[in-house]
Amino acid sequence: MIEDIIKIIKNENVKIMRFKFVDTSGKMYAMSTTQKNLRNVLENGISFDSSSIPNFSQIFESDMKMFPDLETFRVLPYERKEASFICDIKYPNKKTHEKCTRTLLKDKIKAIEYDYIIKPELEYFLIKDDKPLDKNYYMDTSFEELGYKITEEIVLFMESIGIEIEKFHHENGKGQYEIEFSPGSAVLMADAIILFKDISKRIANKYDIQISFLPKPFPNEPGTGMHFHQALVKNGKSVFYDKGLTEFGKKFISGQLRHAPALTRILNPTENSYERILGGKEAPRYICWGYSNRSTLIRVPSSGKIEIRSPDPSCNPYLAFSTLLEAGLSGKEEIPPVQENVYKFPEEKLRRYKIKELPKSLKESEEEFKKDTLFKNFLKYF
């Protein structure tokens, strides 16, 4: 495969190679090289100072290597083409680094007998001079305006490198848009999310426009979410749905609901995340589920997938998928669905239905995470 990659890079005259990974918070880092050094990096990895990455390594154990996953190779068709690889982090002796969240997710999936399928929905704001780019509305048809042109360019770029987008549209907020990826295995979708965020920023910058993935960039506009539609697939068939939600699917939901307070630390990892959660406007707040109910934390649409609605784009998708899978598989009971608008429930009705709320702050979610024994092996990522 290395020979094939080198041949493509030479044929397409690609001069710059980018090797990328994310830290535990989900922030992307990259090391670059030129064509003449490519073979050595593909065979032996590329070294870096991991002590310069926050919360990653101590200075006395800082020599680490990025090992490119050859399956992630893409030629990115910018004005000057560049090669892109997503990497796993290892010690020089090739032992996996404990805080490589991409390897964590791969190992979690290898340990089960299912393929974990995710369809992400990712929202963002386009901003000009610290204000929303436009004043348009949900599913607005102002296709000739700059916001749509930028979004369309991003979508076509993504599809040109083999990442399929199912649909996209203007969202409820001014200057707010949403793209929905076509479903895929969890590792590939996490890779796609981090590439999307990087590529979209570079495209928006061409137009002197800022793209924001902050959970709540404007106090009077809806928040920015990143919903995940989930399925576990075996022999090509979802085990969550068979002419209706299966017992397995209901237990998977119960596991995520039971551990929702702790999961919030992973899915909503910034102070700004809680401005979205507490800010209303369809931001999920109540720990319950329902069929086609957008006021609940988990919604089961007609597709039979399990949509969790609390995550936002500031989270690390590898860590998010790993913990969601862990929580879902821990489910042992069935929790009744709620088929009413939970936002309108008075306190007495919430108590009667035994519906609790998500943590209201990062500090509160950290406390929930630390005391949830299911996630004790994840504490090292913080």
Instruction: Give the C-alpha separation, 46 to 37, whole Å.
Output: 10
**Mean predicted confidence (pLDDT) in 187-197:** 98
User: DSSP string of 318-339?
Assistant: HHHHHHHHHHHHT--S------
| 28: Cα separation from own chain's centroid | 13
Only one residue has tokens 């092996």, namely: 377
Other Cβ atoms within 10 Å of 293 Cβ, number: 20
List the Cα angle 203/320/313 in 5-degree steps: 30
- The pLDDT value given to residue 218: 96
**DSSP assignments along 99-151, one per residue:** T-HHHHHHHHHHTSSSEEEEEEEEEEEEEETTEES----TT---TTSHHHHHH
Question: In which region does residue 168 sit, left (phi positive, over 0), alpha (psi from -120 to 50) or beta (all else)?
Answer: beta
Q: According to CATH, where is 3.10.20.70 located in the chain?
A: 2-96
Can you give the pTM of this predicted structure?
0.96
pLDDT at 139 > cutoff 90: yes
In angstroms, the CA 205 to CA 190 distance is 23
* Fold held by 2-96: Ubiquitin-like (UB roll) (3.10.20)
Confidence category of residue 151, pLDDT binned at 50, 70, 90: very high
Which part of the chain has CATH 3.30.590.10?
107-381
Q: What is the CA radius of gyration of the chain?
A: 21
Residues in the chain: 382
Q: Which of 112, 102, 123 is nearest to 319 (CA)?
A: 102
Query: Which CATH code of 3.30.460.80, 3.40.50.720, 3.30.1360.30, 3.30.590.10 fits the domain covering 107-381?
Result: 3.30.590.10
Q: Residues 341-363: what's their mean pLDDT? A: 95
Bridge partners of 354? Answer: none
Confidence check: pLDDT of 127 > 80: yes
pLDDT at 212: 98
User: What pLDDT does residue 380 have?
Assistant: 79
